[in-house]
Amino acid sequence: MQQTVKRNVPAVTAVLSIVSLGLVFGAARQLIPKALLPAAPEWLLEAIPHVNAVISVVAVVVILAGLRAIKREQYDRHRKLMLTGVVLFVAFLALYLYKVALKGPNTFPGSGVAELAYLGILAVHMVLAIACIPLLYYVLLLAVTRPMSELSETAHPKVGKIAAPLWLVSFVLGTVVYVMLYLVPASAY
């Protein structure tokens, strides 16, 4: 299996990206039948955004540490940190999609300039998050199908230099969206 994936990283990336984005858009548009999802108490659904905010902040720290490790040529540390980042991303996405599939997306409580700023930040966050999915699959598949000694001969370093900053900014903007939705009182808008 690993050899098949190794020989077909672009194709596997495309398939995984299409399936993942299908799930993302299906959940966001509430096209996934709620009967297929396990029920959760309301308190748990209300906790998800706060848990995801913590995941996002931890992911930012992990990605920054992973970038620092690769600059210092600490390849094992870089690999562990970036794999941790992927696990955090998957956890974040699973929780987010579960909540959105059941309850729908949140609406911003403000209007005017605040709402325009929120929508702009949200749009950039979403575009980056969507763009990151195939990039992350690609570098991840290259990393897990090859020994570290071969990675420098692949597109992993070039694509990683694009993917990591976009991923980082996406998590930061997601945290800003969280602050605007949950921490700033509606009366402030």
CA distances 101 to 23, 27, 134, Å, are 10, 4, 22
Give me the helices (H) in the chain, please.
2-7, 9-28, 42-71, 75-103, 112-145, 148-151, 156-178
Mean pLDDT of 7-30: 93
As a whole number of angstroms, the distance between CA 22 and CA 57 comes to 26
Which residue do the tokens 């969507």 mark? 130
Mean pLDDT of 153-163: 95
Q: Where are the domains of the chain?
A: 2-188
Q: What is the pTM of this model?
A: 0.89
Output the six-digit token pair for 121: 């930040």
As a whole number of angstroms, the distance between CA 129 and CA 54 comes to 17
71-94 confidence digits (pLDDT tens): 999 999 999 999 999 999 999 999
Three-class SS of 154-182: CCHHHHHHHHHHHHHHHHHHHHHHHHHHH
pLDDT at 3: 84
Which of these CATH numbers, 1.10.3470, 1.20.120, 2.40.10, 1.20.140, describes 2-188? Answer: 1.20.120
The per-residue pLDDT of the chain, averaged, comes to 93
- Nearest one of 44, 52, 91, 47 to 175, comparing CA atoms: 52
Taking each helix axis from N to C terminus, what angle separates 75-103 and 156-178, rounded to the nearest 10 degrees? 40
pLDDT at 104: 87
Res. 185: pLDDT tops 90: no
pLDDT at 175: 96
